[in-house]
Structure 1
Amino acid sequence: MTHQEILKKVEWKDLKNLSIKEMLIENNLTIPWFVISLTLAYFGYYILALPFSAFFFLTALRQVHNGFHNSLGTNRFLTSLSLYINSVLMLVSIHAVKFNHIRHHKYCLTEEDYEGKSANMTWYGAILYGPIHMFLIHKVTLQLGNKYYKRNVILELISILVFLALIFHFQIHFLIYHVIVMIIGEFLMAFFAVWTVHHDTHDSPDFARTQRTGWKNKLTFSMFYHLEHHLFPAVPTIKLPELAKRIDEVLPEIEKKETF
Structure 2
Amino acid sequence: MNQQEIVRAVQWKDLKSLSVKEMLIENNLTIPWFIISIALAYCGYYWAALPFSAFFFLTGLRQVHNGFHNSLGTNKFLTWLSLYLNSILMLVSIHAVKFNHIRHHKYCLGNEDYEGKSAAMSWYGAILYGPVHMFLIHKVTWQLSNKNYRRNMLLELFSIALFCGIVFYLNIHWLIYHIIVMLAGEFLMAFFAVWTVHHDTHDHPELARTQRSGWKNKLTFSMFYHLEHHLFPAVPTIKLPELARRIDEALPEIKKKQTF
TM-score class normalised by the smaller sequence: over 0.9
Aligned residues: 260
SS at match of 2:116: helix
Query: What residue number does 1:167 align with?
Result: 167
Please tell me whether residue 184 in structure 1 is matched to residue 195 in structure 2.
no
Please tell me whether residue 73 in structure 1 is matched to residue 78 in structure 2.
no
- Which residue identity lines up with residue 57 of structure 1 in the other structure? F
CA drift of 1:204 comes to 0.2
Query: What residue number does 1:204 align with?
Result: 204
Query: What residue number does 2:132 align with?
Result: 132
Please tell me whether residue 215 in structure 1 is matched to residue 222 in structure 2.
no
SS at match of 1:133: helix
Query: What residue number does 2:93 align with?
Result: 93
Query: Runs of 4+ in structure 1 displaced over 3 angstroms?
Result: none
Query: What residue number does 1:226 align with?
Result: 226
Q: Distance in 2 between matches of 1:122 and 1:192?
A: 13
Query: What residue number does 2:149 align with?
Result: 149
CA drift of 1:192 comes to 0.1
Query: What residue number does 1:31 align with?
Result: 31
Q: Deviations over 1:138-177 (max 9, x none)?
A: 0000000001100000000000000000000000000000
Q: Distance in 1 between matches of 2:5 and 2:258?
A: 23
SS at match of 1:115: coil
- Which residue identity lines up with residue 152 of structure 2 in the other structure? N
Q: Distance in 1 between matches of 2:76 and 2:21?
A: 19
Q: Distance in 1 between matches of 2:135 and 2:241?
A: 33
Query: What residue number does 1:246 align with?
Result: 246
CA drift of 1:209 comes to 0.1
Structure 1, unmatched stretches of 5+, are none
SS at match of 2:100: helix
- Which residue identity lines up with residue 50 of structure 1 in the other structure? L
CA drift of 1:220 comes to 0.1
Q: Distance in 1 between matches of 2:247 and 2:93?
A: 34
Please tell me whether residue 50 in structure 1 is matched to residue 50 in structure 2.
yes
Query: What residue number does 2:108 align with?
Result: 108
Q: Deviations over 1:183-231 (max 9, x none)?
A: 0000000000000000000000000000000000000000000000000
- Which residue identity lines up with residue 157 of structure 2 in the other structure? L
Q: Distance in 2 between matches of 1:158 and 1:152?
A: 10
Query: What residue number does 2:118 align with?
Result: 118
When normalised by structure 2's length, the TM-score is 1.00
Q: Distance in 2 between matches of 1:194 and 1:186?
A: 12
Query: What residue number does 1:193 align with?
Result: 193
CA drift of 1:232 comes to 0.1
SS at match of 2:159: helix
Query: What residue number does 2:22 align with?
Result: 22
CA drift of 1:27 comes to 0.0
Please tell me whether residue 11 in structure 1 is matched to residue 11 in structure 2.
yes
